[in-house]
Copies of this chain bind each other. A is one copy, B any other.
Amino acid sequence: MIYEALQLAGILAFALSGALVGVRRNLDILGVVVVGAATGTGGGILRDILLGVHPPVSFLHWPNLVVAVAGSLVVFFVHPRLTRIRRFEVVFDAFGLGLFSANGAALALASGQAPITSVLVGTIAAIGGGVIRDVLVDTVPGVLTRELYAVSALLGAGLAVAVVALGGGVIAGSLVGGTTAIVLRLTSVARGWHLPRPKFAPETGKASPDAP
């Protein structure tokens, strides 16, 4: 039951982040629900497709969908002013990221996958929902540009696998890995930590456009 609660908490956090993006983009109520539900359940669906679980759990297990849709509806009706929405997006996204990475990895290992597979599946589950959200609203996904985003997911998944491999159980692994990922991600945002960028000669310091 704790495990189920962690799972639903991750879905809710991502659904809230997706619905907030939908509100910011001025989508209608169903557009907000579609982005929210796709963000909340998308990472888990990707995980299930990769592991060969048919149909994906979220297509069968109605609480997942109810949580994602209800969270999106709440955001549609009750949301912060436009200028403050981004802050909430980042926080909910960080919670989704941590919960999914650790949980997905711990679960994959416990179900008999190899450690490397488990870490990768957890990471994909964590970043997948956000990538779906960002591709849907036609933005470069945050995983490519945000502070320590993928690092946090990898670390959370890796720690969770380590805890489970050492006999700590899925729930302990999810909590240790998830908390670490959330704290690292939010700290990196607060402090503005970035990884190094490529070096160019002075006149080319900006990204070039994509004209062919």
Contact = CB atoms under 8 A, between A and B. Distances in A.
A54 B50 contact: yes
Count of chain copies = 3
A28 B81 contact: no
Contacts of A140: 25, 136-138
A139 B210 contact: yes
A201 to B, nearest CB: 6
Contact of A32 (B50, B79, B198, B210): B198
A5 interface: no
A128 B110 CA distance: 31
A59 B117 contact: yes
A197 B28 contact: yes
Interface residues of A, number: 65
Contacts of A113: 55
Given A144-B35, A144-B136, A200-B82, A207 B62 contact: no
B60 A22 contact: no
A15 B116 CA distance: 19
8 contacts: A23-B198, A25-B144, A26-B198, A26-B207, A27-B198, A34-B143, A50-B59, A139-B210
Given A31-B145, A31-B195, A60-B114, 8 more contacts: A24-B208, A34-B144, A45-B50, A49-B50, A52-B54, A62-B116, A81-B200, A136-B141
